Structure 1
């Protein structure tokens, strides 16, 4: 086999850098997937493996993936659809790198994302992860400056100083400043990937942050915007809006499971009131989702439980409506 000069140079460079596993679970988004992979292969940090796990998309993206002609890409396709969580965990468990980072199939990275975040991890073995700020882009890839700045403020990254935070429970679980699903690099061996229960579903990212917090290690923050989160109609966040009640139910169930775990953890007792409030809010969301799916009786207990934790006019209104005819209540 003849190895080109360029590839020899790459292999030499790779031998000096730790391997980073880039995790890209995908389903039925070929155009976005192509854009995501382009930003992965163009990383200035070269020693990476890119794991693309296709969840039995109607149109097999294998040809698209192979068109990159990049030996660093590993492609796997499920014979049946495993569900989003199982497909994502499968990809994580395929990782061979010292570090691991998630690039979802509809997001994008700046070319220096890994170059910026790997050195702090290498310099400090007591860090479990490194994370950054990010842009928010529209469906067509255009940066939405207003929403970008709103998200940075909402998740307390605007005034967060560069540096190491240890512990980082508040930053990770209360402020939720760490977007492990698209803007963080994690030390692979620090996490037992078999300890992420399937009940976390679409909230696996915050549960992963929780596991990172529980290591007792630190987190490094880079205030630069090094990734791009895409908002579009098919994201779980957008689907959990008013019209898609099934997505609302799934998201609420996953969030409730996470908050219940957090409330049980003695290491997080100072934040328990916050988690209780969030649990109450999500409990109402779950009840609303059930009520909109014509499961009024099943919804009612969630409103009661929500009010036991936190007074809410929304929960009271929903509870009252749950005693009205289903055809009327589901309009809430």
Structure 2
């Protein structure tokens, strides 16, 4: 099929935020331009990479690709939201620069959104691949079980609060298409940080619209050394601190929303766990006094938690010894 778009199909905005991953970015863009669904705009938003990807993007010679580069590093969230704000399509889909889509990803999902105007999003299951792009079968199945996608049948779900916010089944960042115009991209608070995808899921959940799920694995999530789960050392500590602060902020908002009151105990549990996680991160960052206040707060809010109590006791031990015990 020619890259000339089929104008009878609604425009889909594919947004690809990127930062210093030229080889992975090339593969991500390739998977977007080769979609069997053709009426696309592909927005690549670069967060001031040290190696400018403009030449790489121009090598595709595809007029559907639009490139934006920030003159300075604005952070992951702002770069992501900038791309959403630029989207002109009826639908918008996020594709991380280290992930990929199967050729029929959009062709499989868009028709369900077109057929039912009461749906806000459609998503699929996904493969997990390693740094070289090889499918990791065992981790793929582990992820599907962990996020309970293996328990979902393909079809429409009118109420997806549990699916989205408790089970966290929806991979909003890389395997999801959203009906544009129903979410205020400008209104996403900066405090959500790395939990922006869960926060977007939350905003979708509270609209009253439904979703469509396709149980086929249509995308490829890359699990590699640069992902949060594989970081080590100082960088990992800073990432854990940021993520814990984001979690506290998001779960507080969820707890305060009466529309999802039935899940309040679940969010409160995660909110308290995030306090302990943040405290442990601060201890590893040699900020024991700040950590201790978080542990006290968490213990006062719950009857008993061994992890929090143990962390509190550790906060009274000298920092050098604490770091050895925590494996820092």
Whether TM-score is above 0.5 comes out as yes
Match of residue 77 from structure 2: 85
Q: CA deviation at 1:244?
A: 1.5
Q: Are 2:134 and 1:181 equivalent residues in the alignment?
A: no
Q: Give the RMSD, CA atoms, in angstroms.
A: 1.5
2:90 to 98, 103, 128: 98
In the other structure, the counterpart of 2:209 is 217
1:280 alignment partner, one of 272, 292, 302? 272
Shift of 1:240: 7.6
The residue aligned with 1:312 is: 305
Deviation at 1:30, TM superposition (A): 0.3
TM-score, normalised relative to structure 1: 0.95
Counterparts in 2 of 1:257 and 1:104: CA distance versus 1, 3 Å: same
**In structure 2, do the counterparts of structure 1 residues 212 and 285 end up closer, same or farther at CA, with 3 Å as the change threshold?**
same
Displacement of 1:151 in angstroms is 0.7
Instruction: Say which is worse superposed, 242-251 or 58-67, in terms of deviation.
Output: 242-251
Structure 1 residues 200 and 237 mapped into 2: Cα distance closer, same or farther (>3 Å)?
Answer: farther
Show the counterpart of 1:140: 132
User: What is the Cα deviation at residue 305 of structure 1?
Assistant: 2.4
For residue 324 of structure 1, the aligned residue among 310, 317, 320 is 317
Taking the aligned partners of 2:196 and 2:300, their CA distance within structure 1 comes to 27
1:277 offset after TM fit, Å?
A: 0.9
Q: C-alpha displacement at 1:243, in angstroms?
A: 6.6
Q: Which runs of 5+ in 1 are unaligned?
A: none
Contact 1:277 1:309 in 2 (8 A): no
Describe the shift of the 1:64–1:173 C-alpha distance in structure 2 as closer, same or farther (beyond 3 A).
same
Shift of 1:257: 0.7
Structure 1 segment 177-256 matched on structure 2, within 5 A: 177-239=169-231, 244-256=236-248
1:159 deviates by 1.4
Structure 2 unmatched runs, 5+: none
Alpha-carbon shift at residue 279 of structure 1 (Å): 1.0
**How far did residue 276 of structure 1 move?**
0.9
Q: Give 1:6 deviation, angstroms.
A: 4.4
Q: Which residue of structure 2 lines up, in the alignment, with residue 302 of structure 1? A: 294
Q: 1:240 to 1:225 in 2, by over 3 A?
A: farther
**Distance across 1 between alignment mates of 2:76 and 2:228:** 10
Q: Which residue of 2 aligns with 1:107?
A: 99
Aligned to 1:67: 59
Among residues 142, 160, 181, which one is paired with 1:150 in the alignment?
Answer: 142
Inter-partner Cα distance in structure 2 for 1:81 and 1:133: 32
Q: How many residues align?
A: 324
Q: Structure 1 198/173 Cα, relative in aligned 2: closer, same or farther at 3 Å? A: same
2:253 paired with 1:261: yes
Distance 1:30 1:304 in 2: 45
Contact 2:164 2:170 in 1 (8 A): yes
- Distance in 2 between residues matched to 1:273 and 1:188, nearest whole Å: 32
